[in-house]
Amino acid sequence: MSPTKRLTPKIQKLVGLDPILDEDYSFFHPGGNDHYIQFFLKNFPEEYWELDAWDRHNLFLQDLMLDFGIEFTLDEDGEFAEYYESDSKGAFTIRALMDLSDAHIGLLYLMGESRHCQKFIQKLKESNSLHPCYFNSNFLQEIADTFDVIEEIHYSFEQLPSSHHHPITLKGQVKGAVAGSLLPMLQDKHPDTFNLVEIHGQTKDGSMGTIALKEEGVLFAQALRLSSFLELTSQVFTDLQNKYASLLENNINEIHFSSKFQSIELAGLPIEQQISMPVDKIDNLLRQFTAGIKPLFLIGNYERTTRELWTVMSTELTSGKQIQLEIGRGQIRFLLSSSHSISLMEKIEQFIARNIGRLIS
């Protein structure tokens, strides 16, 4: 079943479309509205998970109200929440719908003017209970393959001068029809450093509308067929569900004791990734993960455990989330202690992809 099956009619209603009509002509009447979707990981405090869904989500929304003054209204089932914001003349500036029905992934749909939506998302991102899902370069490229025309690409790689002898920078954006042909060229020419962070393109429905995806878990569209937008949303949602389900099932480290044979079962495997550009000065990289400095704000300690491997234990200063890493010159391993470590892992993945080298699983 599509994960957006119940979300779709709600969005159609919000936009003002009649779901009974067969044809979706939404792209004819964009009405100055932009559509935004932000995917996020539910990073609720541990104790919230002991409650039932309605209480859990209600508490989370109350936190948002206390922290940011944004008051969502939760429906009876505790699965969808709505929020409206209007200007001084009473016209809506933002209409928002939050889908909390999935166990781990949340979705925020926003309709309104782009700058209002961006501001709104920016505000919500400061919440510790929401972690924006990370779309890595590979993921964005896979989506790009489904586009009819690629209109714009943004790529960003700026190697840390402190970790490499000859730091490389490969940053830029390409607009227009040339973007589509440049994308594979850039990829082939710079396989280790090309890091796609944003992509715009037209879907194959003929509506000529543009849809954009950004690495911080955002889908954004102006005038396009709403059904195509929701179709892509559904596809991304399914991919994310699979990804996080697998992480939660296979990679959360837990210890089970059995006193009978004095035995310990270690559940959860480390996640291993290769770094395409081996690190020259590993001490400086380790500092990024332990010294409480920008941009990661991680505090902790490290120890060289073999000739080639360093064990790092880090805590995020802003949230208290924890993760254990094993770092070699050309590889990194993530040992997740709880579901909260997933968001921290993604933050580190993003940092490495932007500042160290391409990650290969």
Partner 1 sequence: MMFQYNCNEAHLINWLLSQNKNQAQCLFPKNKGWKSELQLYYPTSEQPFLAIHFQHEEDELLFIPIDSGTPANFLSNIIPQKIAKFFPKNKGQICYVTSEKTAGQIEKQWKSKMKESALMVLFAQKVEFLFGEFDNARFEYRLSKTVVDSELTSQRVPSVSSKDLYGNSVIPFYQRIFHLINYAFVTGEKKILLEQIVQDASIYWPLLHKKDKKLIQESVLQSFKHLQGRYFQGLLRLEESKKKEQSQPNWWIILEGNLNQRKEAQHYARAQGHALGWLRHENQQILISGDEDF
Name the site residues for partner 1 (rule: CB under 8 A).
250, 253, 255, 257-259, 261-266, 269-270, 272, 290-293, 299-303, 305-309, 311, 313, 315-317, 319-320, 322, 324, 326, 328, 331, 333, 335
Rounded to whole angstroms, the maximal C-alpha distance in the chain is 73
Smaller CB separation from partner 1, 30 or 292: 292
Q: Residue 243 Cβ, how far from partner 1 at the closest point, in Å?
A: 15
Contact 44, 342 (CB under 8 A): no
Task: Judge whether 195 and 354 are in contact, CB under 8 Å.
Answer: yes
Closest CB to partner 1 among 166 and 257? 257
Structure tokens at 9: 């009619």
Please, which residue, 159 or 314, has the CB nearer to partner 1?
Answer: 314
Helix axes 226-250, 7-15, angle to 10 degrees: 140
Instruction: Give me the least distance between CB of 129 and partner 1, in Å please.
Output: 14
Beta carbons of 239 and 246 less than 8 angstroms apart: no
Q: Closest approach of Cβ 277 to partner 1, in Å?
A: 17
CB of 269 to partner 1, least distance (A): 5
Write the DSSP string, 49-113: GGS-HHHHHHHHHHHHHHHH----EE-TTSSEEEEEEE-TTS-EEEEEEEE--SSSEEEEEEEE-
Q: Could you tell me the smallest distance in angstroms from the CB atom of residue 352 to partner 1?
A: 17
Cβ nearer to partner 1, comparing 88 with 262:
262
Minimum distance from CB of 27 to partner 1 (Å)?
Answer: 44
Cis peptide before 295 (omega within 30 of 0): yes
Compute φ and ψ for 58, nearest 5 degrees. Answer: -65, -40
Calpha distance 56→40 (Å, rounded):
16
| Sign, Cα dihedral of 131, 132, 134, 139 | positive
* 31 vs 320, beta carbon nearer partner 1: 320
Q: Residue 229 or 289: which CB sits closer to partner 1?
A: 289
Tell me the helix, strand and coil percentages in the chain, rounded to 5.
Answer: 30, 30, 35
CB of 242 or CB of 250, closer to partner 1: 250
Name, in order, each residue with C-beta under 8 angstroms of 205's C-beta and a sequence gap of 6 or more.
224, 225, 227, 228
- For residues 92 and 351, which CB has a smaller minimum distance to partner 1 in the complex? 351
Least distance from partner 1 to the Cβ atom of residue 356, Å? 18
Q: Amino acid identity of 353?
A: A
Q: Tell me the closest approach of the beta carbon of residue 342 to partner 1, in angstroms.
A: 17
